[in-house]
Amino acid sequence: MIVLPPLSLYIHYPWCVKKCPYCDFNSHEGEDRNGYIEALLKDLDKDLKYVQGRSIHSIFIGGGTPSLMSADELHELFTGLKSKLTFEKNIEITLEANPGTFEVDKFKAFKDIGINRLSIGVQSFQDRHLNALGRIHSAEDASKACAYASQIFNNFNIDLMYGLEGQSIDDCLSDLNQAIDLNPQHVSFYQLTIEPNTLFAKFPPTLPKDDDIWRMGEQGVDLLEQCGFERYEVSAFGKITSKHNLNYWQFGDYIGIGAGAHGKITESKTGKVVRTLKSKSPKEYIQNRNKTLEVIDNLSFEFMLNALRLKNGFDVDLFKKRTGKDINVINEQLKRAESMGLVNLTKDRITPTKKGFDFLNDLISLFM
């Protein structure tokens, strides 16, 4: 009997005020947004077959800049979602927000509509770094947005980057201390990486020395943990962990709607896992809502790619539940990882060591 994993919903809102030079997400400036909410709901109609009797475990609205939506648009969206889906009683519903688009009255309306977790893309609390990153908000905007969020929401996340051009270790720790003082329940703390097909790839900034970036990461992790934030995933630190994040890393299912959105679905009859992919162009998405399906051939690798990002690892039973395979199919790779000091193996659990966590790409490559 196939036991289906939890089911989440990802909704992509592809518009931004300005495309950031480091961003490789599907985001667009200044296009016509008319009809997008209607297109999202029609897209969901086509994917309802993937629900397979499950309630929705979590919702994440990402982008782009979803906080550009009006309260009326969000209300229309959630009216449609609730007419088609069953939400779990304690569902987590996250919306990404840019501090440069923060409006107190609108965000109070967002909460009334159903948003119960905000993820604020701060990146830095220092204007010179924000300018270099092409952000539309100032350090003051960021502080005010987080302060307002703490008054409106019981659960919010602050995104922070490190390894920025001209950034010192003290700058990095100062950003973290300011974030901690604003009392978020979650912090995403991650290194700036130069992605292909971005402006930074064409005109790369001069980043700090590798040793200094390493120290920023190490000291930043120490500071967050000392202040009560549990590091449960490579770049995720929570006093309250994110249900949506955990469902990704534990290889759960998720429906993806919106321009360029991805989904991952387990079929109840066969146990086969498929990926869904929607048209990236917002204009094409609104007009055609094209979709392609791709079967995952290497489930073992896909599972390990996700689950090894969790600091506490995973139960061996979870591997079989999510892939339909016995853990012995990757026994050779596991033994090699253990001999290299990258994982700890017990009868029931697989956990990355500190070395494995620090050199995660090397660990994951063993399972390719």
Closest CA to 300 of 266, 273, 325: 325
Mean pLDDT in consecutive groups of 10 residues from the start of the chain, 368 residues:
90 93 88 90 95 97 95 98 97 96 93 98 97 94 96 97 97 98 98 92 94 97 98 96 97 96 92 89 83 73 95 95 92 96 95 94 93
- Is residue 308 a part of any domain in this protein? yes
Is residue 45 situated within a structural domain?
Answer: yes
Residues 38 and 166 grouped into a single domain = yes
Q: What are phi and psi of 130, to 5 degrees?
A: -65, -40
Domain count within the chain: 2
Give dist(CA 204, CA 198) in Å, integer.
9
Does this model's pTM top 0.85? My answer is yes
Residues 90 and 233 in one domain: yes
What is the CATH number for 79?
Answer: 3.20.20.70
Identify the DSSP state of 310. B
| Structural domain boundaries enclosing 130 | 7-248
Cα gap 115→105, rounded to integer Å: 14
Asked whether residue 223 falls in the same domain as residue 308, the answer is no
Write the DSSP string, 347-364: SSEEEE-HHHHHTHHHHH
Q: Which residue has 């020395």 as its token pair? A: 209
In a domain, 98, yes or no: yes
Quickly tell me which residue has 């919702």 as its tokens.
59
Give dist(CA 307, CA 356) in Å, integer: 13
Q: What is the pLDDT of residue 181?
A: 97
